Amino acid sequence: MSVAPTDKDRGKRRLRLLVLLLLMTPVASGESRTLGRDGVAGTWHAIPSGGLRDRIGRVFCEPRLATLQIDKDLSVRFERFFKDGRTQVLTAAPSAVQFQGDLMIVTFERPPVRARLVATGWQSGGTRLLLGQLHLYDDDGLFNGYAITFRP
């Protein structure tokens, strides 16, 4: 025989949950931060944006998706790896990197194509992510773009 919870029991559970959430919020928010100019330097590897199937497939799949190398002087090297074995390398001098608030904007010039990476970084505990959008341009303007997520 089961006893249905009373309104009083439900209220106590909700209060406990609320107190727990209130206690955890400062701890969680205290550990996370937005990466700024100093936090984006390093080598970043693209991770798949799909579900679990894509993530599992990525472990066994070569070539890699993309690699982003940001030096301390803000020189940037972006390598895109295609399934057919081709590699596209885009580079940008420090003068082609701008920061607007927490957004990093990198302009790559490789005629006839120009690319612009708009990204922001985030860190919580030991997890760091760089979240962005790569925009591709030609002489007629924007022709493609895709979201891209990087991990160190």
Model pLDDT for residues 80-137, shown as the tens digit of each residue: 888 788 888 999 999 999 999 989 999 999 888 899 999 999 898 888 999 999 999 9
pLDDT at 10: 72
pLDDT at 17: 67
Interval 23-80: pLDDT, tens: 555 445 557 788 888 889 999 998 876 655 555 555 555 446 799 999 999 999 999 8
| pTM for the full predicted model | 0.71
pLDDT at 24: 55
Q: Which residues contact 130 (CB under 8 A, 6 or more apart)?
A: 35, 40, 44, 68, 119, 120, 121, 122, 149, 150, 151
CB atoms within 10 A of CB 46: 22
Place of tokens 């985030």: 122
Task: Select from 127, 80, 84, 128 the least CA-distant residue to 108.
Answer: 80
Which alpha helices (H) appear in 5-127, and where do they start and end? 7-31, 52-60
Strand partners, 131: 120, 149
pLDDT at 56: 54
Measured between alpha carbons, how far is 55 from 52 in angstroms, rounded to an integer? 5
